[in-house]
Amino acid sequence: MISRSTIDQVYEAARVEEVIGDFVSLKKSGSNYKGLSPFSQERTPSFMVSPVKQIWKDFSSGKGGNVVAFLMEHEHFTYPEAIRFLAKKYNIEIEETQQSSEEKEKLDHKESLYLIHQYAQEHFAKELWETDEGKAIGLSYFRERGFTEETIRFFALGYALEKIDHFYTTACKAGYAESHLEETGLVIKNERGGVDRFRGRVIFPIRSMAGRVQGFGGRILSSTVKTAKYLNSPESAIYHKSQVLYGIYEAKKAIAKEDVCYLVEGYTDVIQMYQKGIHNVVSSSGTALTPEQIRLIRRLTSNVIVLFDGDAAGLRAAIRGIDLILEEGMNVRICSFPEGEDPDSFSKSHSLEEIQAYLKEQAKDFIQFKTDLLLLEAANDPVKKATTVREIVQSISKIPDPIKQEIYLRECALQMEVSEEVLFNALAQEKSKKKVPVRKITSAQAAQELPKQGSDIKTSLENPLLNLEKQIVSILLHYGGDEAFFDEVFISSDEEGNLIEESKTVQSKVHEKVFLDLQQDEVEMIQQEYQTLYSQLIQSFQSEGKVHPQKMIQQEDPRLGKILTDILLADEEHQLHDWEKKNIFVKDRKSVVGQLVSETILTFRRYLVDQKITELMENATKDSQINEGSVLEEVMQYQNLKKLLSRRLNRVL
């Protein structure tokens, strides 16, 4: 694990405008920089970088954060990978935290395997370009497939000489351990010594999401040798076939930008389509599609288009993969090629415009695809048609989103000429087989249902408290240390129990006002991210009397960094549109901070009172033993409090 001191050094050295400037063309705009979004297609700049605050914000996609968050979003690095990238860029030596000898040995072992794979990739590329055998066999094959020199080098393709132990002896001379060579599968040990696994084959390096070589695929070219046509590296500490997609490193930026991924079967399908200009394409490397591979794609997009050969085997493979993709909550479409064609041959014989048009026109929704295919098999047999309907419903049952389920069921009913009621009953039967407990909630609870942790935080009319919580965090972040005047409201009751409102103006620190008001109401924010940030801000004010936004943004959790970025750059969005030139001026909120705080707290309290009233009414409905008179009295008291709060806000009930 990277030490905290190294992470701090990286953050101190890294300049957000320098790092992002390597990926995005930025232009000076006041104290900030702006440019076109790298995450969407646009003509007007909506991407802003703040050198002063060391953060960035993409107003078109809603993404934002610090320099590490950018690398995680744009390059799809993990947090440690982003830190290591920046450490390398700024020549910072990485210090690891104290590890047990077992942990250190495991880490060193994995690194050794990666180094061997990198050496092997360079070795095979050299054999392809610099040996007579490599040129005559390997290079000729790639050129026959229509691959240009640029494409061959981009995908780091290579060739392994036919000599039985050429790579083995070369690697041993270079100092690589025999045990590690054997573990990677590059070398097979027998009674005669070491034998090269990929001898006499063209080589396709398989890279991880971060771009490190972790395995190889090899294709034999000789038709006389009795062996498997394609051969992959065996499982190892760094290579797991079920968790790898060929081309994911090369395609990740295009997938994220286009918001769709094309999924094909073979290495050459990927390469040929990439060369033609379709860059958002990956392959399952000839293995059956797995949930782990689908989740790799889901990190980049929720939309998948499966491309497959027009033969029977291709059709079966597509059907197998559909349900797995649906189970992961993704949107899937299917596109088949004419009989005798595959993505490789079709791309080779058509222009980019023709390929794009074909994919757009022929990609079918999975319901339409499965209906067409299964009905073709069923012909006019009613029994087979019933089986077809059942299979489609089984696929729909795997979709996590109930709204999507209903839409697809209605579509299926229309196409299959079956009543919706029958299909909904069939869906219920499928769900009951899974025996998944269903959580019952009331309509009031459903209206207040919140996004789960890890999802994007969105405010809505159904959840107004989320917006207020964000407003409170924003106030603390911008003005928490400022002095302001507040109209304090004191509520008491007379002898008859009527609420009396008194007010007077007081001066205090903003963070003290917010903290005391929320503590008085014993409030804890309902969204965990906001509660975490609120606690951090209050703790910082109480211990130091101020906050350090740049340090707060350096948190490992990207969700917290995104919230902070949204807040810190919210007031600067107008710079992108030059509103001042159009005589539109943004009012400085600092001049009315006292009023802003008071209104936010009062509104927050009002919604809490609403929640309490709803809770009391629901409890009275559920429990017949509750005294209705006492509940009604308590509800009336809260209603009176709500009236006072509304009057303070100059709102009409």
578: left (phi over 0), alpha (psi -120 to 50) or beta: left
User: Is the pLDDT assigned to residue 578 strictly greater than 60?
Assistant: no
Reported as a single tens digit per residue, the pLDDT across 142-168 is 999 999 999 999 999 999 999 999 999
Pairing of strands 32-35, 47-50: antiparallel
Choose the most confident range, by mean pLDDT, from 132-136, 254-258, 290-294, 534-538: 132-136
Residue 544 CB contacts under 8 Å (≥ 6 apart), including other chains: none
What is the structure's pLDDT at 106? 64
Give the torsion through C-alpha atoms of 399, 405, 407, 413, to 10 deg: 110
Domain ranges of the chain: 4-89, 99-239, 240-362, 383-434, 464-571+588-648
Fold of the domain spanning 4-89: DNA Primase; Chain A (3.90.580)
Non-local CB neighbours of 497 within 8 Å, separated by 6+ positions: 637
- Beta-carbon contacts of residue 334 (< 8 Å; ≥ 6 apart): 305, 306, 308, 318, 322, 363, 364, 366, 369
Mean of pLDDT over the chain = 80
For the stretch 298-334, pLDDT in tens is: 878 889 999 987 665 556 666 777 888 888 888 899 8
Residue 341: exposure state from Cβ atoms within 10 A (0-12, 13-18, ≥19): middle
Average pLDDT over residues 504-529: 74
Q: What crossing angle do the helices spanning 593-622 and 510-520 adopt, rounded to 10°?
A: 10
CATH no. for 240-362: 3.40.1360.10
Q: Which two tokens stand for residue 414?
A: 């229309």
- Answer yes or no: are the C-beta atoms of 466 and 457 closer than 8 Å: yes
Paired sense of beta strands 303-308 and 27-29, if any: unpaired
Q: For residue 457, which amino acid is it? A: I
Secondary element (H or E) of residue 231: strand 230-232
Question: Could you give the 3-state DSSP secondary structure of residue 95?
Answer: coil
The structure's pTM equals: 0.62
Tell me if 4-89 shares its fold with 99-239: no
Across the range 536-541, mean pLDDT stands at 82
Please state, in angstroms and as integers, the Cα–Cα distance from residue 293 to each residue in 272, 283, 303, 324, 424, following that order. Answer: 21, 10, 14, 10, 31
Domain 99-239: assigned CATH number: 3.90.980.10
pLDDT band at residue 454 under the 50/70/90 scheme: very low
